[in-house]
A and B are shown apart, each in its own frame.
Chain A
Amino acid sequence: EVQLVESGGGVIQPGGSLRLSCAASGFTVSSNYMSWVRQAPGKGLEWVSVIYSSDSTYYADSVKGRFTISRDNSKNTVYLQMNSLGADDTAVYYCARDRDYCSGGSCYSRYFDYWGQGTLVIVSS
């Protein structure tokens, strides 16, 4: 059974740092794309970052230069290191398995087939 469990959220002061973890079971993170998605209170979903199976990483403009995605294959865990946090980073952070939809040799879209339960990050003084 595929399962994703996030941890590491909490209350942090503006300008601080936090590292989120996403522990996976039922599949191997190193063979998959893994994304982080966040949701500010009462708002919609916002994609944050992805790590490819090739180790390439990509970030939304809103977090580029402040957040770093990584993984530990031995622990089957993905991380999101968040630095220089501001009030706008307050959100529930979800990790998700990120898949390619391919047909006939071409890939047409990506979809997130499994999500964790989320971890809440509150940036406040």
Chain B
Amino acid sequence: SSELTQDPAVSVALGQTAKITCQGDILRSYYASWYQQKAGQAPVLVIYGKNNRPSGIPDRFSGSSSGNTASLTITGAQAEDEADYYCKSRDSSDNRHVVFAGGTKLTVL
């Protein structure tokens, strides 16, 4: 299966910019989608496609991609943004499957 990798933890000062990255060869061909999961809750989609936010997601969340790396940027991080973030894409060995990266724990200081 395709492998996607994320840094396990990222920290950001309140109001500053956080960047969470996801690496994998499949990202050269397919966009990642990003999910926020707060403790004890179901995941929530925050970014999909080239850089699309679902309704209700603040515009401080944005996505980008370059080469084999997808990035989720939170500009002006808020305390409520503290959560686990997962990227997901298609599986390079079978693109009918999808694969998640291991997730990044974002701490807002």
How far apart sit A37 and B88, CA to CA, in the bound complex (Å)? 12
Q: How many residues of B contact A (CB 8 A)?
A: 30
A19: CB under 8 A from chain B?
no
Of residues 46 to 102 in B, which have CB atoms within 8 Å of A's CB atoms? 48-50, 52, 54, 84, 86, 88-90, 94, 96-102
Number of interface residues of A (CB under 8 A): 26
Task: List, in ascending order, chain B residues with CB within 8 A of A118's CB.
Answer: 42
Q: For residue A117, which residues in chain B have a CB less than 8 angstroms away from its CB? A: 42
A110 to B1, CA, bound (A): 16
Q: Is the CB of A103 within 8 A of B49?
A: yes
The answer, yes or no, to whether B9 is at the interface (CB within 8 Å) is no
A112:B31 contact, CB within 8 angstroms? no
Interface residues as binary, A46-73 with B (CB distance below 8 Å gives 1, 0 otherwise): 1100100000101011000000000000
Interface status of A125 (Cβ within 8 A of chain B): no
> Which secondary structure dominates where chain B touches chain A?
strand
- Complex CA gap A104/B45 in Å reads 23
A residues in contact with B102, CB < 8 Å:
44
Chain B, Cβ-Cβ closest to A118: B42
CA distance A108 to B98 in the complex (A): 12
Contact at B86–A45, with CB atoms within 8 Å? yes
Cβ–Cβ contact B45 & A113, under 8 A: yes
A: which residues have CB within 8 A of B? 35, 37, 44-47, 50, 56, 58, 60-61, 94, 98-99, 101, 103, 108-113, 115-118
B residues near A (Cβ < 8 Å) are: 1, 30-33, 35, 37, 42-45, 48-50, 52, 54, 84, 86, 88-90, 94, 96-103
